[in-house]
Structure 1
Amino acid sequence: MKWAAVMAGLMAWAGAGPAGAAVVPPALTAPWGGAHGLPRVRGVTAAQLETEYAAAIETMRSEIRAIANNPAPPSFENSVLALERSGDALERVHAVYSIYTATKSDDSIRAVAAKIAPLRQALDDEVALDPVLFARVEAVYRQLPNLDLSPDARRLTEVIRDRMLRRGARLDPAAKSELSRINAELAGLQQRFAANVAKDEATRFVEVRDEDRLAGMDEADRRAAKAAAIEFGKSDSWVIRNSRPAVWSVAKRANDPSLRADVWRMWMSRGTHQGETDNAPVASAILKLRGQKAKLFGKANYAELAFEGRMVPGPRAALDLLTDAWEPVASETGRRLAAMSEIARADGLPGPIAASDYLYYAEKLKQARFGFDSKSVEPYLQVARLLDAMMWAAERTYGVSFKPLPDVDVVSPDIRVFEVKRDDRAIGFLYVDLFRRDGKQRGSWASQYRAGRSGSVLPVVALHSNAEPGLEGAPATVDYEVANVLFHEFGHALHFLANSSPYAATGPLALPWDFVETPSLLNERWLLEPATLSRLAIHSDTGEPMPVALAEKLRRVVRFDRVFSVNLDYLATALTDLRLHMMADGREIDVAAEEAKLLAQMRLPGTVDPVMRALQSFHSFAASEYAAGVYTYLWSDMLAADLAEAFVRAPGGFFDEKVAKRYYDTIMSRGARVPASQAFRDFRGRDPEARALMRRFDLGSGETRGD
């Protein structure tokens, strides 16, 4: 791979390119054509999505009926494998649907999504709850000791059977009917919950009429606020968007405490406003239905149901994990708050530090202790160089290379597409979509638009974010936190791309949901490696590399801040999520009131707000994977810290070839071909050590840290 050529192309990437003529795509269910077999997405209409998605659902129904009604005796090929291979047309249209709903949405697309969600849920229920289909799978499962099948085929049979059981295959007919009703209602409510938060983010803002209130914010922040004002029709003012980058800029740097309070209140009140975006009744209905669903499975509450198939054995074990972390983290937080209060008093702040002041005085504390200003780092974190550094680190560590592909059909000209290879063999395709635009959901995330099947189908994955394009032709830059998140999400993308499973159903997303985050959390560790920083950290204005002293300050501050999960704001969110779902037994729950009680029981300092209030918690309520599962970030961070120690102690550190190859072979590329606990043992030679994460940050152990 000629990285100089790639880098030149990346640096020319400024968020704009030839838009191309409007193209009407072929049928969305048709096999993907073109030179690389990638989806055609330009020119898709909401009506086309709705029509073809509904048609693809009917096609899969026909495929499932054919499997269930096959007169031949059940076999691996005509039952398990046939089920695994069904739904290709639906997978293709769902990929385009996902691209539009997440990255190019509007009112018409959102209306279609509201219709599609329950239809798709109904189909999933039909597959899981079909008694004839399950009987055929069960028959193959019972024959496994006598069948001459590969280990992958045996594992596929086990995974599909277990998945059908967890979805209700053994419920009686009345319970199955009730489950289908509940799932359909949940699908619509979860879609509505996410839409409400998105609408609050897109439509609410804080208008600033007096520029003096922006004191402390730099020129780039002010220009962004002015650009937002023009967009919202407030050209004589400045506007702070209801988006994380804009809110954090104010929270960290604005000297005016009233402005910090106004902006923070806007951010923390998403989903709480009375009217059409009020998530209080939505979240309450979701919890009630989840509780009813748990009862159908004979569980006391939804948390018990959600833990089936996870690594952590049950909600009580997860509760212990979170509460064990609370005390040492709370003690350290108390010391920091005391130091911040001293700075605030000297600063003339009237009264105690409010939650809206936390980030501002956290910055002041880091300046006092380390001589560090987070804004000084941002010019060194150019978006194009970040992408180059991520790809370079992956190539050096795993031998993975990225080749830009021209003329691939995309929904926006700022998206780039790469062919990914390892050992001169294509292993997949990566879409890189890093800039904010209208119709795109906020935040950063990775998507798998097509699951890989080793030897036959290459995965198609995407890396998304919402960086602001550089103003007036300047390179786009991000703060350290966003850079770290990008390395995290790139870790997910690498995990999807590395998949060696011959079956989609035993790929990475079939892993327990409390293991899925582990490879991505580990990938964050490559960002601050000296070799990575030396490639990445070039000042956007001067072209000078980041001074060694500043790089060392950054490392010390990152260690001081600790990872996301070892902080009270996260622990409060995770504990609230778990406790609410342990209450979810079919009763009516006032989510906001119960959250307030839980936070009081935790003795969360008033200076600390949860990362997400319950009524804006996408993880808890907009999908089911993280319901009663926000704890997984702490669990996965512990696993990642343990895995990292193998690299730290190797001669080559995080770029050690032998350790990297063993990690790639035993975990990264393995998907769910073996249980996650076995994959971990195969790499580490033992079970995970719960002390690893606290050891990394010298919290509550006194043991030598692992970095």
Structure 2
Amino acid sequence: MTTRLALALAVALGATTPAFANALDAMSATAATAATPASANPFFSESPLPLHYPQFDKIQDSDFAPAFDAGMAQQLKEVEAIANNKAKPTFDNTIIALEKSGQVLDRATTVFFNLVGTDTNDTRKQLQADYSAKFAAHRDAISLNGKLFARIQALYDKRDTLDLDAEGVRLVEKYYTDFVRDGAKLSDADKATLKSMNAEMARLGTQFSQNVLAEVNAAAVVVDDVKQLDGLSEEQISAAAEAAKARKLDGKYVIALLNTTGQPPLAQLKNRELRQRIFEASVNRGSHGGEFDNTALVARIMKLRADKAKLLGFPTYAAYSLENQTAKTPEAVNAMLGQLAPPAVANAKREAADLQKMIDAEQKAARKPTFKLEPWDWAFYSEKVRQAKYNFDESQLKPYFEFKNVLENGVFYAANQEYGLTFKERHDLPKYRDDIYIYDVFDADGKQLAIFIHDPYARASKRGGAWMNSYVSQSALTGDRPVVANHLNIPKPPAGQPTLLTWDEVTTMFHEFGHALHGMFSDVKYPYFSGTSVPRDFVEFPSQVNEMWADYPSILQHYAKHYQTGAAMPQALLDKVVAASKFNQGFATTEYLGAAMLDQNWHQLSADKVPDAAGVMPFEVQSLAADGIAYAPVPPRYRTPYFSHIMGGYAAGYYAYIWSEVLDANTQQWFREHGGLSRENGDHFRKTLLSKGGSVDAMQLFQNFAGHAPQIEPLLEKRGLTSGGEAAAPAGK
């Protein structure tokens, strides 16, 4: 079912109540009255643009609802025809028919949810709220259709006699497993209960995500006196002034927040009181009453998830969620995180001691009383320690990291050297924003492989973080080739100023392009397996591998050029970049593990143990302390009320970054042992792993590539968790 991919966000939020026949009748009636003529709605037929690139210039917000309604009605008719087919079930008349169903809905929901993430507005927010339960109802009407499941089970039971290739057999198995996990074997009464739960989770999940976006904008810090911004660059101060003007606060300055706990200006601002204001504005989001308080939503969603897991025969939601991941069990995840936490915290404490020494010395020299290191001090003094240790600071680097140069002469150049890809910017395709970039991607043989969209800038209408998504997914069955996009949240400079990147932003660009390569290299038959349709704890692996080229000498030398003079970054500074990228790893690992363990603690609760709204924040404090990861100067990367990952597709899955990093560390070791960056090595990685999508078991793919099972030692070495060493931090999270 192609719509499964497009509705991934909606599916993560739940399902609904009407029975299949009632849903079909209602949606068909709605579609009959609401749908616009096919000629007027760009979703009612395939885009005529290259590779079916979306017609952003023709898509209006008013097109979505008619396309949703007509698309759901159309797919339900298709599904009912499959379920009621009097012919015996075959692979073609059941599984392939499902794979081809829902084309209109797939096109509309793909564009809609991508735009909701990258450029939402009031209309789209309302549509998201209005349709979250309807989409869940649609999924339930298919997944809980008894006749349809009977056909799938019949094929599953005789799958080894259907004369299918391995990918076809796997597709039958995945359909069967998905339907069972969605409740296909429940009684009618339990199905009704499940639908009700899913509907409520869909509604609450949408409300949570909208609250997070609203409060990250509402909680921006207003500064009255420019003197308080000492430490920021002139460009940053100008941007803060522009942000204030946009809010009709002329003469003031606005420090916008990102969705993470830490905030970038904390590394630069000399005014400690302002640093504290920014930090507290960040960590207090969603938990201190008011319009956007999320604690009641968290309590209810966690209870519903635990109840759903119990209904489906699992002790906890984590057990349910992890069953179809490579980790398989909560115990395996707990063992991994538990092994990493003690050395990570020990490293963080060593780093904190160095920061405290810096504070004490600085205050003594200024003849001022010293103070205890607090979370809002960490980034500022860690930057000072880095300057002292490596004799450079971030401001020295940024002139050499102009955004487009990094993209084209760094990220793209690495892909050329490793895979033979070439890129050509095009200006004729429509955009949903003026400040995005579009490229044709050509394979080594000169044939077009994909279209790539890059959306770099932060804005109030964009969710936090960095991510990749597909507008069109590859499939031999449909003949489609990929249209994929990367999204970052780089602060946009004032008009006429260059976009200069931090080192973290550079590595994040490489990280996200690793996801894009995974999507673009897809070479599978069935849409179900396309691109990044792999277990959640495997999907971050290719992106983390691609980070290794950011500081690879021949790549770094190619793109680290001064934006004004074109002069190469001096070798001494290049060496410092590589060395300093292995700095502050205790902090990075501890803040990540805090969030990952918090996620597991929530989802390993049985239904009777989930706290009420008043108990949400106390539970967070208690659980982190119990895990030995509670260290006050290093709070979790996300706190519960703004932990968007685990309210969406990463429920019980935030551990995936570190789990995938085991594979990443092994893979980096493999590249080093086989000569580093080369076409031969890149082609091997592409052929054995990146091109396979989900068509082969994920861990088998890794072994096909590496020749052995993954080992944890390379990760411990990479993260400096073996003998007190330092290691590089992950990006893109």
- Secondary structure in structure 1 of the residue aligned to 2:263: helix
Aligned to 1:462: 485
Mapped pair 1:96 → 2:119: no
Q: AA paired with 2:381?
A: Y
Q: Which of 588, 595, 609 is 2:620 aligned to? A: 595
Aligned to 1:397: 418
Coordinate RMSD, CA, aligned: 2.2
Q: Which of 15, 40, 61 is 1:46 aligned to? A: 61
Moved more, 98-107 or 192-201: 98-107
- Secondary structure in structure 2 of the residue aligned to 1:515: helix
Q: For the structure 1 residues 25 and 205, does the alpha-carbon distance in structure 2 shift closer, same or farther, using more than 3 Å as the test?
A: farther
Query: How far apart in 1 are the matches of 2:539 and 2:358?
Result: 40
Aligned to 1:415: 436
Mapped pair 1:387 → 2:407: yes
Aligned to 1:137: 152
**Contact preservation (8 Å) 2:261, 2:282:** no
Q: AA paired with 2:434?
A: P
- Secondary structure in structure 2 of the residue aligned to 1:473: coil
Mapped pair 1:359 → 2:384: no
Query: How far apart in 2 are the matches of 1:306 and 1:215?
Result: 47
**Contact preservation (8 Å) 1:539, 1:545:** yes
Deviation at 1:563, TM superposition (A): 9.5
Aligned to 2:192: 177
- Secondary structure in structure 1 of the residue aligned to 2:43: coil
Moved more, 83-92 or 421-430: 421-430
Deviation at 1:600, TM superposition (A): 2.6
Aligned to 1:377: 397
Within a 5 Å distance, the mapping from 1:612-627 to structure 2 comes to 612-621=638-647, 623=648, 625-627=649-651
Moved more, 599-608 or 83-92: 599-608
Q: For the structure 1 residues 67 and 45, does the alpha-carbon distance in structure 2 shift closer, same or farther, using more than 3 Å as the test?
A: same
Within a 5 Å distance, the mapping from 1:240-389 to structure 2 comes to 240-243=255-258, 248-348=263-363, 350-388=370-408, 389=410
Query: How far apart in 2 are the matches of 1:186 and 1:370?
Result: 49
- Secondary structure in structure 2 of the residue aligned to 1:347: helix
Unaligned runs of 5+ in 1: 1-23
Q: For the structure 1 residues 704 and 220, does the alpha-carbon distance in structure 2 shift closer, same or farther, using more than 3 Å as the test?
A: closer
Deviation at 1:656, TM superposition (A): 2.3
Deviation at 1:312, TM superposition (A): 0.9
Aligned to 1:482: 505
- Secondary structure in structure 1 of the residue aligned to 2:167: helix
Aligned to 1:435: 457
**Contact preservation (8 Å) 2:401, 2:500:** yes
Q: AA paired with 2:620?
A: E
Identical residues among aligned pairs (%) = 30
Aligned to 2:135: 120
Query: How far apart in 2 are the matches of 1:413 and 1:214?
Result: 30
**Contact preservation (8 Å) 1:52, 1:93:** yes
Deviation at 1:244, TM superposition (A): 6.3
The alignment covers a number of residue pairs equal to 679
**Contact preservation (8 Å) 1:260, 1:357:** yes
**Contact preservation (8 Å) 1:694, 1:700:** yes
Deviations 1:530-571 (A, max 9, x none): 22212211122333221111111111111123499x611111
- Secondary structure in structure 1 of the residue aligned to 2:255: strand
Moved more, 340-349 or 96-105: 96-105
Aligned to 1:523: 546
Q: AA paired with 1:374?
A: E
Deviations 1:58-97 (A, max 9, x none): 1111111111011110000001111111111111111221
Deviation at 1:585, TM superposition (A): 2.1
Query: How far apart in 1 are the matches of 2:85 and 2:118?
Result: 41
Deviation at 1:410, TM superposition (A): 1.7
Moved more, 508-517 or 192-201: 508-517
Mapped pair 1:628 → 2:652: yes
Query: How far apart in 1 are the matches of 2:74 and 2:700?
Result: 37
| TM-score, normalising length: structure 2 | 0.89
Q: AA paired with 1:274?
A: G
**Contact preservation (8 Å) 2:585, 2:727:** no
**Contact preservation (8 Å) 1:641, 1:706:** no
Query: How far apart in 2 are the matches of 1:246 and 1:544?
Result: 36
Q: For the structure 1 residues 271 and 29, does the alpha-carbon distance in structure 2 shift closer, same or farther, using more than 3 Å as the test?
A: farther
Query: How far apart in 2 are the matches of 1:158 and 1:518?
Result: 24
**Contact preservation (8 Å) 1:200, 1:242:** no
Q: AA paired with 1:356?
A: W
Query: How far apart in 2 are the matches of 1:160 and 1:126?
Result: 15
Aligned to 2:99: 84
Aligned to 1:551: 574
Deviation at 1:674, TM superposition (A): 0.8
Query: How far apart in 2 are the matches of 1:244 and 1:223?
Result: 22
Mapped pair 1:569 → 2:591: yes
Q: Which of 418, 426, 429 is 2:448 aligned to? A: 426
Deviation at 1:495, TM superposition (A): 0.3
Moved more, 537-546 or 179-188: 537-546
Aligned to 1:9: none
Moved more, 420-429 or 176-185: 420-429
Query: How far apart in 2 are the matches of 1:125 and 1:620?
Result: 22
